[in-house]
């Protein structure tokens, strides 16, 4: 059975969350390829290189907010500077433990953020995303 999308990029400094989310995405047949980055700067570099070399980008990014060095909001600011083809193909979902309404409002200031999801990621959330045909 074909996966819902080709590639998902997980960006979260919590290694345990990344391992669990990676397995969940794989087991639910949500994505063919899963790339995990613990730091937003590494994810930005990955995106630059993938687009520059292969012209390929992830279909979906699950992005945490609270991370050291570069947080999720700073990632979004850098993402805005990318090529339109990259930005228009990739959908970003904030995946966070934050319950702060200001974080949610700030996330939606970026036109590239499709949803604000609260951790933990679940099979139900993934199935819901599949059914929305995003």
List the domains of the chain with CATH numbers.
5-132 (3.40.50.2300)
pLDDT in tens, 51-108: 888 888 999 999 999 999 999 999 999 999 999 989 999 999 999 999 999 999 999 9
Average pLDDT, the chain: 95
Pairing, β 91-96 against β 60-63: parallel
What span, in angstroms and rounded, lies between the C-alpha atoms of 11 and 45? Answer: 12
Please report which helix (H) or strand (E) contains residue 101, including its range: helix 101-107
What span, in angstroms and rounded, lies between the C-alpha atoms of 81 and 77? Answer: 7
C-alpha torsion 107→112→117→120, nearest 10: -110
């Amino acid at each position: 059975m074909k996966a819902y999308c080709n590639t998902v990029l997980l960006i979260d400094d919590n290694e345990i969350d990344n391992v669990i989310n990676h397995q969940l995405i794989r087991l639910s047949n949500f994505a063919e390829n899963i790339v995990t980055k613990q730091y937003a700067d590494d994810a930005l570099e990955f995106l630059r290189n993938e687009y520059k070399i292969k012209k390929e980008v992830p279909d979906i990014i699950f992005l945490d907010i609270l991370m050291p060095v570069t947080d999720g909001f700073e990632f979004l600011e850098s993402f805005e500077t990318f090529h339109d083809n990259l930005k228009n193909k990739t959908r970003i979902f904030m995946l966070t433990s934050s319950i702060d309404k200001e974080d949610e409002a700030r996330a939606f200031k970026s036109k590239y953020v499709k949803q604000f999801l609260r951790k933990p990621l679940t099979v139900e959330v993934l199935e819901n995303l599949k059914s929305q045909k995003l």
